[in-house]
A and B are shown apart, each in its own frame.
Chain A
Amino acid sequence: MWAVTGAQMTASALVSLRNVGKIFPSGLVALADYDLDVRQGEILTLLGPSGCGKSTVLRLISGLSSPTAGSIDWSAPQIKNNIGFVFQDATLLPWASVFNNVFLPLRLSGLSRETASARVDEALAHVGLLDFSRSLPRELSGGMRMRCAIARALVTHPALIMMDEPFAALDEVTRFKLNDDLLTLKRRLSATIVFVTHSVFEAAYLSTRIIVMSRRAGRIIDEIEIDPAIARDDDYRSSKTFAEACRRASHALRVSIEEATR
């Protein structure tokens, strides 16, 4: 069931980070000699304390930031140009309807409303927001806004989706519901997901692989693999596998925090 591996190059890697470093203009070293393979079809979770570089990794992969050292290699260049991103806040255009928010990536790629309409409706249907397509973001609950952000990330049919603590601001019930919805979407769409969270439980529930990062320049402390074949449901939350994943991730997090305060 368990397989702990180092960061090795794998044949099915969608994107590989090699010796990647990121130093901000202020001199802060966010990442140093960082290696990571994102494998085709997995839900990879980056877990770690605040400031460990999790979000930086997502920004580097998605091209929102450039590494100051090392390389980022793609298995296919077209993947790089079509990445979905769900930010910590829903990051919706407050003046635009749900439909127009989801339509935005297609509009920016030059598609007309008529051509894109079916794809927008499909993405909204995936997240259960089809009946709210004319609503403005402020008319939605926090969970619905996040669904809208997910629909926007899905609408371009990306092979890779980045999710930067998307459910952190939501209550526990909504969070559980969205976790399940995300897994359903994942099964339906077969995209690869890189997920960032502070929550050990969320990481253990969603992931097929968890990487625990240290606050010291993103050093990888542990890599935990969870069998993707195991069904993720209420039974899984009370299973030994889930408990063991949580125990191990918690231990690695403790090591990470102790390392940082030493």
Chain B
Amino acid sequence: MPDLLKVSGLKIEATVYPPGEDPQRVTIVEEVNFTLEKGKVLGLIGESGAGKSTIGLAALAYGRGGVEITGGKVELNGEDLLSLSKSGIRKVRGARVCYVSQSAAASFNPAHKLGDQVIEATVRHGLMSREDARRRADHLFDVLGLPEPKTFGKRYPHQVSGGQLQRAMTAMALCSNPDLIVFDEPTTALDVTTQIDVLAAIKHAIEETDTAALYITHDLAVVAQISDDIMVLKSGKTVEHGSVAQVIEAPREDYTRALVNVRSIRHEEKQDQSEHFFEMAGIDAAYSGGVKVLSDVSLHVPKGQTLAIVGESGSGKSTMARVATGLLPPSAGSVSLGGEVLPPALKQRSRDQLRKLQLIYQMADTAMNPRQTVGNIIGRPLTFYEGLRGSARKKRVQELLDQIEMGSGFHDRYPAELSGGQKQRVAIARALAAGPEVIICDEPTSALDPLVADGILKLLLDLQKQKDLAYVFITHDIAIVRAIADSVAVMFQGELVRFGPKSEVLSPPFDDYTDLLLKSVPEMRLGWLEEVLASRKMSAGGN
């Protein structure tokens, strides 16, 4: 069969504006070659900055903000897209090549009905009449497993869930019957339980319509379920390119091996979990307006151990952090640390009580003041709690930087000059500087690439051993729970479904929700998706 898409010698450059320096020309992608046949799926995988989205968009002959395609060829059915004129490329985009973006919620216009947006490109290109396009859209809604496919198109974006929106976007891409679809991390922003439904729908739709696809993701386990071939990218260069089976089961390169073996941290669960060092007892909480988000949740964690709270978005797990820190005083129940009951509201807590309980945020980007240097960010708790100043403070900051494995040379840098992983490390150092006894980690690794996240988890475990810290680790990722937890709490719609030692919570018999949650975590082997779909007890409600 002739190649549908042939990319050869692709070179992409951009102009960057580093803070305080002159603009520079950088090469984002270099010497990338691949071909794609009809009906096949190629997975592009790599960490952020690897150039995978840029390559995906290059298949539409498009360069995002300041990015330019400066070399190579992108041939679709033998026609070089890069040589086409503006009007020529317009006939291709949205008709023969379509794009599904990461955040469907941000990509739909909230003022128009879904159905109209789904068929818009097809009708505008004159490929179908409005009625035919509508019929096709209804058919696609059905194929993608959306509820009430006949009337789904009459809804507005805010009336459907995130997983449904992502599928609607896939329907939009499929509507014009394109030769090629580019999926740019379509499930990254979704919960695991939702992700699996969307993955299954996408896979089914690709098979049904015999379309070729580029599937971009940073999660090797996801791409293993959906692709025929995998291309591993690092810093804009191809690391490895082969069939799924070869890349997953017999990776040739060290980097690919690291990706396959990521999340290989094993943590032995501690036996004695009876101590109630940090305890939240009988917590009820509601936001102003009376929406109840937590009801009767009781948890505890011993000194030096990790409690993982898992659940999907909206389950109330982040609210637990707000209650624990006093940002949201509970309507019933109490929070205690080391036997001492903490006042419910932040303002009533003493400086020493605040010091003992620290919080690490999900987004290190917004958790640090962009106008303060690393030295000031880490040093402020030292001055605030211990009164350290001048060279004593500087020395202590350096010790903390050493502990988070960042060494010297970072003291006077600003957050904008750090990588994502480094920022999260600085956030950890800031929490450590206070000399805490309990650290609440609110999804600290979910915004990071797998390899970087692995490093952060290892660091947290090391620090726990050194300082006998107790962690309350909020996450939606069961793999992380397996890697670091001693005890686990599963939350669903504001209630505690299951709580106990990791070995008990993660072994049968399961309640329905825990079963769904555990089975939804992608595993890095072939055929996993089919197995799970065949054996599920409960489907993710309303997704």
Binding between chains A and B: no
Chain A: residues with CB nearer than 8 A to chain B?
none
Chain B: residues with CB nearer than 8 A to chain A?
none
